[in-house]
Amino acid sequence: MRRWIVCSWCAIALALPASALAQDTGQSAPGQSSSQKPPQTAKPKTGKLPIGLRAMGVVQLTAMDSSATFKTLVGTSNLPGFGGAVDILNLVSKVFVRFGVSQDAKDGSRVIVMEDGTVHSTGVPLTLSVRTVELAAGWRKYPKKHPKFAWYLGAGIAFTELTSESPFPQPGDNDSDSGSGALVFAGFDRTIWKSIIGGLEVQYRSIQDAIGSGGVSEAKGENSLGGATIRGMIGIRLRR
């Protein structure tokens, strides 16, 4: 069911830019409508938005889908992280593409889950890191009344790798697990000063069957490396 919802969401998200593109072919871009006054800050009409660039540093908090697994190991299912992304804007009208990387990490300790669900912590230090590479496309909207402001949404694919690191590893102990799946996101940004922008974004990644074959995830019956992320971003935007 969840997978169906996610897929539907992705499809809708991917369709939106195309829809927007279609609308753009028949309509004016913001600020181009003859019935509207151009924004005072807008540049003269060119008929087409120039290709722009948005580069952002990201701090984020990810609520992992496999919440019981992560709570057991690191005490919480919300992993703090950081990353960066580059959006190439206005490739076709307001459509942009994104390449992004991020890493969420949290320290905890290795555990043993009993058959009755109780947990024994061995005290052996453990660092869990979830690294994600995003390839996505989206559509940006510039409200007419707030030219420094833009909101956007998009969808794409995510490649996620989980690594567990503990001291005294034996072969295989610190091996990583990885998976791929869909991601959708939405957010807004605002020009703070000249080309400096700040923004917020929410994202959901669906990475199924990446774990669950052993360890705590098997005991907890969880198999996802996906989750919902909220991001704070700051960066630069070259052109709109």
Partner 1 sequence: MVVVRFLCCSIASAVAVLIVAAASPSADQNPVQGVRVPTVSVPRVPTPGTPGSNIDPVAGPRAAVQGGPRRLTAARAEAFVEAARRGLDYLPGEVVMKFRSGMGAASMQRALDAVSSRPDANGLDWHGSVALLRDPSQPDAHQLAAQLSAQPEVEFAEPNYIARISPLEKQFSVGGAPATPPATPSGFGRVKSFRTTGTPSDTDFGAYQWNFNLINMPAAWDVVPGGSADLIVAVVDTGITLAAQTMTFPLWTGSAIQNVQMAFAVNPDLPAGRLVSPRDYAFLDPQGPVVDMEGHGTHVSGTIGQATNNSFLVAGMAYNVKIMPVKVCNGYWELMIVRAQNGQTGFISSDSGGCSFVDMSDGIRYAADNGAKVINLSIGGPSQSTLLRDALAYAVSRGVFVAISAGNDFEDGNPTMYPARYAIDFEGVMSVASLAKNSAKAFYSSTGSWVEIAAPGGDSRQGTGTTDRGMIWQSTVLTADSVAGSLGVIRPRFDRYDKQNYQGTSMASPHVAGLAALIMSQAPGISPAAVERIIRNTAKDIGDPGRDTHFGSGLIQPRTALYGYSVNR
Q: Binding segment for partner 1 among 20-28, 132-140, 182-190, 217-225 (CB under 8 A)?
A: 217-225
Q: Which of 84, 198, 215, 232 binds partner 1 (CB under 8 A)?
A: 215
Task: Name which of residues 18 to 57 contact partner 1 (CB under 8 A).
Answer: none
The answer to the question of residue 190 lying near partner 1 (CB under 8 A) is no
Q: Which of 14, 56, 162, 184 binds partner 1 (CB under 8 A)?
A: 162
Q: Binding segment for partner 1 among 47-55, 84-92, 94-102, 216-224 (CB under 8 A)?
A: 216-224
Size, binding site for partner 1 by CB under 8 A: 38
Q: Which of 26, 44, 47, 214 binds partner 1 (CB under 8 A)?
A: 214
Identify residue 31 by its one-letter amino acid code.
Answer: G
231-235-237 Cα angle (round to 5): 120
Query: Are 16 and 52 in contact, with CB atoms under 8 Å apart?
Result: no
The answer to the question of residue 168 lying near partner 1 (CB under 8 A) is yes
Give the three-class secondary structure for 28. Answer: coil
Query: Are 222 and 209 in contact, with CB atoms under 8 Å apart?
Result: no
The answer to the question of residue 209 lying near partner 1 (CB under 8 A) is no
Q: What are the contacts of 212-220 at 24+ separation with CB within 8 A?
A: 216/69, 216/72, 216/73, 216/111, 216/113, 217/66, 217/69, 219/113, 220/66, 220/68, 220/69, 220/72, 220/113
Residues that bind partner 1 (CB under 8 A): 66, 69-70, 73, 109-116, 118, 120-124, 126, 128, 162, 164, 166, 168, 170, 172-173, 175, 177, 211-219
